[in-house]
Amino acid sequence: MPTAGEEGEEGEQGEEAYQRLSGILSSGGALEISRLAATATRSEFSAPHLGLSTRELQQAFAHAHGVFFSGGAGAEAEAVAASGVLLLCSSEHGTALGVRRRALQRQATPAMVAAELTLTESLVTSGLARHSKSPALWGHRRWVRARFAGGARGAGAAELDVVRRSAQAHPRNYYAWEHARWVGAAMDGEESAAALRAQVGWCRRHVADVSGWTFLAWLLDRAAPPLRAQVLADTLEYATVVPGHEALWAFVRIAARGVGRDAWLRALRGVAWEAYGDGEERARDRMLRERTCAWLDRWAWPAAAGGHGQVVDSE
């Protein structure tokens, strides 16, 4: 068992770690948070980069837990400050989020709202194991925006940038892209078209991320028919650059069904597939293309005459 001296030293170290991390979290500006090696004993901070030491985070969490449940004078302000450290360690800490919500409901100043959005941005875009894909954090961020920051309509392209950075930290991030749909549903035509163009670029840089492609399909469903057909044709051309990705062809299947059979056939026949050679990836891409064509013939346009045989067999 630790001696009284050792316990006192641990308590001092915990308080020091807590003061340091809580100060960093409230320093203003979104942070880029990552984990340091397991051997690190102290976190490293050079704004906006915060490298977390697991040891220091555990020490800070233990002290923050005591502060959070102390119930003394000024308990709410202290609990709100401590909740940031608790959330840094545990993304699903509902009690910590509840305290922050009650504080906002009592008095939501512009500075408080901005600080809440900054904290949640830092957490959901971090490299921590669970934070970027935390339903509790994304739900809390959506609640703050809906209640105090103009709702989805006031979020716009900047909020989608937060989503994309989160999805980059944690691929196939369902909760982040569901938040993006909430934002996108409130966009007007011009904003939606700009979001679609940005999403095309993101998907090309993260071609294996099926969740990103699915959000692109969701945006495409709200676009004008000529833009839908153009995005589909461009994606088929891009498939020749990065062959063999099932996520891309899953998007093609959805997009083709949306533009109609004639536009799909024009886009498919507009690519000189036979010009791109052989190889394992090309063979896989051909297989995915054939499956897509067969699926569309069976489920999208089952009564249509003809098919795609002459297209896919031309190689």
Percent of all residues in the chain with a pLDDT value above 90, rounded to a whole number: 83
pLDDT at 72 over 80: no
297: left (phi over 0), alpha (psi -120 to 50) or beta: alpha
Model pLDDT, residue 310: 41
- Above 50 in pLDDT, residue 31? yes
Give the domain ranges of the chain.
1-119, 224-315
CB 293 within 8 A of CB 312: yes
Calculate mean pLDDT across residues 202-206: 98
Degrees to nearest 5, angle at CA 275 with 271 and 279: 115
Would you place residue 308 in the very low, low, confident or very high pLDDT band (cuts 50, 70, 90)?
low
To which residue do tokens 């569901």 refer? 178
| pLDDT given for residue 63 in this prediction | 95
User: Which has the higher per-residue pLDDT, 278 or 147?
Assistant: 147
Mean pLDDT of the chain: 91
pLDDT > 50? residue 139: yes
Output the pLDDT for position 313: 43
The answer, yes or no, to whether residue 254 has pLDDT greater than 60, is yes
Render pLDDT for 220-240 as a digit per residue (tens, 0 to 9): 999 999 999 999 999 999 999
Q: Which pLDDT belongs to residue 314?
A: 42
According to the model, what pLDDT value does residue 76 have? 86
Please tell me the predicted confidence (pLDDT) of residue 155: 83
Is residue 10's pLDDT more than 70? no
CA distance 268 to 266: 6
Residue 9's pLDDT is: 62
